[in-house]
Amino acid sequence: MAVARWCARRGWPVHPLAVGRKTPAANCGVCRAKSHAPAECPCLWAGRWCHGFHAATLDHSRIAEWWGAHPDFGVGIACGPAGLVVIDIDAHGAQPPARDRVLPGIPIAEHVDLTGLANGFHTLAVLAALRGERSPAEDDTTLRVRTPSGGLHVWYRATDNRRWRCSSGSSRGAALAWQVDVRAHGGYIVAPGTTTRDGIYRALEGAREPAALPVWLAQELERTGHLPAASIPAPRPVPPRAQQAVLAAGGGRDRTQRMLASILAPVDACGEVSEGAGFSDALNRAAFTLGGLVAAGRLTEDEAEQALTRAAETARPGQERRAAQIIRSGLVAGRRRPLHGGGGVR
C-alpha cells in the first residue's frame, strides 16, 4: 500500500498485480466469462480492479480498499495516463537476430563483428554510441529500477502530448533495439518495491524521479514507429458471421485491414482479462488462419507477423518471447493449408 500511495502522489495511476507475479490481478468471474470493452465494464465504476491497467486509479480511498484487503498485491502503473515512457532493457543471453533487426532501420555491415553482443544492454549502448549520447542504462539523472531477471527499467517523463506506444525488442514491427522494450500508452510497468516470486524490483541509488525524455531518444522512438498511425483505426471485435463474410470477400487494402481486425478480435479480447482468457489458443488460431492466407497469396508474411505481434503485445505485454513462439508455430502450420478466396482450404 505504501508503494501504491507513493506512486499515486506522483500522479501515476496504479492497479493491482497478482500476488507474486508481474501480471495484473485476475478479473471477477463475470468479466472472465464475458468479453467486453473495459470502458463499458460496470466493475470499474463499482471500484473493482478488473481489466488490468484500464482500472488504474489515483483515488487514495480505493487504493486503501484494494491493498488493505490484499496487502500482498504488487503494484502496476498505467504508463500512458502517468505520462511515462519506460525503456525496458532485457538481459537474456541469446544469439543475436539477423543484422537488420539488431538496430531496426540502421544497417550493420557484414564486416562488423557482433561477437559478444548478447542482450539489450549491448544493443542500447551501440545505439547511444552511434548518436554520440550516453546509454539510458547509465543515465543516473533519472529513476532506474533493477528487475529480478537482471534487466533494467529506465523511467522517463513524456514532455509533450504525443502518445508514445509500447513495443517489444523482438518485434518485426516497432522496436527500438533488440531486447529493448518500450512501455508507454497501452501498457503498464511494475512499480519499484514490488516483490514477485523471482525477486524484488529495486530502485538503483540516485534519482527517485523520472527525468524528461531525452530529445535524441524521442527522435529514435519516432524513427522506429512508436507513434501510432493516425489513419488506421483501432481494431474492433467483429461478430463471427461478419468475420466469415470479410474473409470470403478478400481484396483491397481497407478490406485487408478489416479482415485482420476480425481475425485478431479474439486476441484483442484477451487484453481485457488478465488470466484465464485462453490467450495462447486465441493467438495460435489467429496465426494458423493468417498462415493460410499467406499461403494463398492474400497476405504477405510480414503483414501477418506484424499484425499478430502487435495484437499479442497489446493483450499480453511482457510475454513477447512466448507470443513469438506461438506465432511462428501457428504461421508454419497454417501455411500448409492455404485459405483461398472462398475461405475454403485447398
Query: What is the C-alpha to C-alpha distance for residues 296 and 186, in angstroms, rounded to an integer?
Result: 33
In this predicted structure, which of 102-111, 236-245, 317-326 has the lowest mean pLDDT?
236-245
The yes-or-no verdict on residue 237 having pLDDT over 60 is no
Mean pLDDT of the chain: 84
Under the banding of pLDDT at 50, 70 and 90, the label for residue 203 is very high
What pLDDT band is residue 70 in, cutting at 50, 70 and 90? very high
pLDDT for 165 beyond 80? yes
Looking at the predicted structure, is the pLDDT value of residue 119 above 60?
yes
CB atoms inside a 10 Å sphere around CB 323? 26
pLDDT at residue number 229: 60
Least Cα distance to 220 among 145, 167, 299, 141 occurs for 167
Q: Taking the CB of residue 193, how many other CB atoms lie within 10 A of it?
A: 17
Q: Is the dihedral of CA 80, 81, 85, 89 positive or negative?
A: negative
Question: Which residue did the predictor score with more confidence, 28 or 156?
Answer: 156
Q: Note the pTM of the prediction, 2 decimals.
A: 0.66
pLDDT digits (tens, 9 = 90+) for 263-321: 888 888 777 655 555 777 788 888 889 888 888 888 888 888 988 988 888 888 767 77
Cell numbers 533488440: residue? 178
% residues pLDDT > 90 (the chain): 41
Given a cut of 90, is residue 108 above it in pLDDT? no
At position 49, the amino acid (one-letter code) is W
* pLDDT confidence of residue 185: 92
Instruction: Supply 73's cell numbers.
Output: 498485491
- Judge whether 212 and 156 are in contact, CB under 8 Å: yes
Q: Which of 137-146, 218-227, 257-266 has the highest mean pLDDT?
A: 137-146
- Contact, 296 vs 248, CB < 8 A? no
SS3 158: coil
The answer to whether residues 24 and 198 touch, using CB atoms and an 8 Å cutoff, is no
Report the percent of the chain where pLDDT is more than 70.
Answer: 88
State yes or no: pLDDT of 243 exceeds 80.
no
User: Sign of the CA dihedral 210, 215, 218, 224?
Assistant: negative
pLDDT band at 232, cuts 50/70/90?
Answer: very low
Name the burial class of residue 130, with classes exposed (0-12), middle (13-18) and buried (19+) by CB atoms within 10 angstroms of its CB: exposed
The whole-number pLDDT of residue 334 equals: 84
Residue 246, C-alpha cell as written in the block: 470479410
Please report which helix (H) or strand (E) contains residue 197, including its range.
none
DSSP type of residue 102: H
68 pLDDT exceeds 80? Answer: yes
Task: Enter the C-alpha cell of residue 313.
Answer: 503485445
Taking Cα atoms as reference points, which of 24, 105, 35 lies closest to residue 66?
24
Which residues share a beta bridge with 15?
76
